[in-house]
Structure 1
Amino acid sequence: MASKSVIKAAAAQLKPVLNDSLATTEKICDMIRASASQGANIIVFPETCVPNYPYFSFVLPPVLQGPEHLALYNEAVVIPGPITALVASAAKECGIVVVLGVNERDYGTLYNTQLVFDTDGQIVLKRRKITPTYHERMIWGQGDGSGLKAVDTTIARIGVLACWEHYNPLARYALMADHEEIHCSQFPGSLVGPIFADQMEVTMRHHALESGCFVINATGWLDDEQIKSITSDDKLQKALRGGCNTMIISPEGKHLATPLTEGEGILYADLDMKLIDKRKRMMDSVGHYSRPELLSLVVDKTAYRHIDVSDKRIAIKENIDQL
C-alpha cells in the first residue's frame, strides 16, 4: 500500500540527445534533481529515451537502416552499467522513484527495457517489452513474462508497460490483478502525427478507470532540427511530428494537470491515494466486479534462458552425500 496519502508525481517530456547515451542521461539526471526540488516523489521518463527511440526505423527502409541500427547498438545500455549507475545515484541523492525507458543491449540483441529505481537507487524492476510493434521488430528482441508484474516501492505499488503493450488487454489485466496503484506508461512521442496523441488520451484514461489506479504517461519530443537529421524527405518528416501527450490521470479518468503536447518540460500533479478506494468501492475489475469462475488469466512469469547448464556429476555426488 502507498506509504503517503498524497504523492507528488512528475512526468517528463524529454528531448533526447540523439545517439548519445551519456548526454541524454545527464539531461535525465538534471530533470530528476529539478523534479525533486519541486517535491516530486516519482518521475517517469519516455520509452527507450536512452539514448533515444529508434525513430529511423519508422521512416527508413530496412536496406538503409544498417548504420543507424549499429549506432544504436554502440549507445545501448548494459544493465547494470555506467548509465544505470548515474541514474541510481541521482535517484538515491534525491530520494525519488525513477521510471526510465532504455535501449538495453544484451550481447547481440537489443531490447526495449523499462527500469524502476526505488528511492535508495536500487533497481526493483527490469522488464522487456513483450512484443515490439510493427517496425520495431526489426530493432528489438522480445521480452518474457518475468517482468509482467507490479512492484512495491517506498512510495507505492507500481506497474509499467510500454506504448502499444496497452493494446494487449491481457498484459494490462496482469498488472491490474497484481494491484498496481500507480501505472507508469511510456511512449516515444514525435511519431505518427496528432492521431497518436489522441489515441494515447483514450488509452490512458481508460486504463486508469478500468484499473482504478493513477496513470503517469511520458512521451519523447523531437525538435525540427532533429527531425531533419533523421530524414530529409519532407513527407516523411510529417511522420515524426505530433504524437506527444505527456499526462497524469486520476483513477476517475480525469486529467490532474494540463497535458504537454509540444516541447520539452516536466508535468506535475498531486496524487490523492484515497481516490483509489473511492473508485474501487464502485468497480473493482479484479475483485468484486470480476467473475474468475467464468473469466480468468494465466500468466507465465518464467524468465526464459537460451541455455541451462548443469553438472550431473555434482548432482549425483550431492544425492549420495545425503544418503
Structure 2
Amino acid sequence: MSNSTLQVALAQISPVWLDKAATLGKIKTSILEAAHAGCELIVFGEGLLPGYPWWLSITHASAWDDRIQKEIHAHYARQAVQIEKGDLKEVQELARKHQLAIYLGIIERPTDRGGHSLYCTLVYINPQGEIRSIHRKLQPTYDERLTWAPGDGHGLQVHALKAFTVGGLNCWENWMPLARTALYGQGENLHIAVWPGAVRNTENITRMIAQESRSYVISVSSLMRRSDFPANTPHLDVILENCPEVLADGGSCIAGPDGKWILEPVAHSEGLLIQTLDFNRVLEERQNFDSVGHYSRPDVLQLKVNRERQSSVSLNE
C-alpha cells in the first residue's frame, strides 16, 4: 500500500463492563484481526477500557454521601487504567509487532494527579508501540462530572501517520470549536472522534467536522446492552432496575474531506469496519477552503493553547 493511502479499522465492540483484564482481551483480539486484514490504524470507542459509567444516568447518582454510589465508583476506580504501571504494555507490544497505530479510549487513574481521580482519556500508540499522546477529556459532560475529573491541554497533539496527520477528541469535546481548531492548526487532516456509542451522536457531527476541516473524520462508538453488565457488578440490581435493553447502539462511521459519507453510521453490529483512505482527497478539498491556512486571518483571529500537563503539586528535588 502506498504512502498516500491508509487502511483503517473501526473497532465497534462492547466492553466486558468494568473488567479491565477481560476487556483488554477483547481489545487485543480486535487488534490482531485488524493486523491480519492489513490495517494500519485501529480506533476504539470512548472509555472502552474498562467501560463508560452507564450507571450514572439510570440510578440516583447525584445522591450525596450515598453508600451504593460510593461502592460502584470504587469498583470503577479499581478497574481503571494506570499507564505508569504498565496496563497498556501488551497493547503497545501488539502495535509494535504488527506496525499498527492505535487510538484507544480508556478510563485513566493517573499517578501524576495523585492516583485516585478518574479521567476519560484518549491514548495514541504509534506503529513502533510508543505512547505518543495521552489526552484527558477537557470537560466531562453532564452526569459524567460525578465520576470523571476535567483534563488539560497536554494531549491536544497530532501525529504523523504515513502521509496523514492524525489527532483526536473525546465525545462532546468534538463540539468545542477551539479544541477542534487546536488540532487543525497543527496540520490535522484525519480527525478521530470517539464516542460511548449512539447513532444520534455521530450522524450529524461527523460530516459537519469533515466539511469544516476538509479532513477525513472517523467516528468510533462502542456497544453496550443490558446483557453486557457482568453478574459480579456491585449493586447490579440497582443498575438494572431502570436499565434499557440497549444503552449504546454503535454509530461508527467515516466522512470524507468533502463531508460526504464514506461509511454511513453502523448500528447494532459488533466487529471491525474497514476502509481505505486516500490522502489526495484532502489536498483536493483544501483548494477552496482551509480554515487555518489560506482562509484564515491570523492578524484578526488567533487561538492560544496551553499544553502544559497540570498537577496540584510541583516538587523541586
Contact 2:109 2:116 in 1 (8 A): yes
Equivalent of 2:215 in 189, 213, 216: 213
Larger mean CA deviation between 285-294 and 115-124 belongs to: 285-294
Residue 126 in 1 paired to residue 134 in 2? yes
**1:281 corresponds to:** 287
The answer to whether the 8 Å contact 2:164/2:279 transfers is: no
2: CA distance, partners of 1:53 / 1:224: 13
Kindly report which structure 2 residues correspond to 1:1-323, keeping only aligned pairs within 5 A, or say none: 4-62=3-61, 63=66, 64-106=68-110, 107-153=115-161, 156-189=164-197, 196-226=198-228, 231-234=239-242, 236-237=243-244, 240-310=246-316
Query: How well do the aligned residues superpose, as a CA RMSD in angstroms?
Result: 1.9
What is the DSSP-based 3-state SS (H/G/I as helix, E as strand, rest coil) of the residue aligned with 2:287?
helix
- CA distance in structure 2 between the partners assigned to 1:242 and 1:125 by the alignment: 27
1:87 partner amino acid: V
- Measure the CA separation in 1 of the matches of 2:120 and 2:57: 15
Determine if contact 1:91/1:97 at 8 Å carries over to the other structure: yes
SS in 1 for 2:265: coil
Q: What letter corresponds to residue 256 of structure 2 in structure 1?
A: S
Q: Tell me by how many angstroms 1:61 deviates.
A: 1.3
Provide, for residues 276-315 of structure 1, a one-character-per-residue CA deviation record: whole Å limited to 9, x for no partner.
001111100111111222222121112222122236xxxx
Q: Could you say which structure has the higher strand fraction? A: 2
1 CA distance for matches of 2:132 and 2:229? 35
Q: Runs of 5+ in structure 2 lacking a partner?
A: none
In structure 2, what is the Cα distance between the partners aligned to 1:99 and 1:143?
18
- Pair 113,209 (structure 1): closer, same or farther in 2 beyond 3 Å: same
More helix by share: 1
8 Å CA contact 1:91–1:98 kept in 2: the answer is yes
* Helix, strand or coil at the partner of 1:179: coil
Whole-angstrom distance in 1 between the partners of 2:176 and 2:120: 16
TM-score by length of 1: 0.88
Deviations 1:193-231 (A, max 9, x none): xxx523421111111111121111111102341269763
Identity level (%) = 32
Rg larger for: 1
Contact 1:88 1:122 in 2 (8 A): yes
TM-score (norm 2): 0.89
- Residues 234-276 of structure 1: per-residue CA shift (max 9 Å, x gap): 5x426x5355210122111122234321131111111010000
4+ residue runs of structure 1 moved beyond 4 angstroms? 227-230
Structure 1 residues not aligned, in runs of 5+: 190-195, 312-323
Indicate how the Cα distance of structure 1 residues 200 and 294 shifts in structure 2: closer, same or farther if over 3 A, else same. same
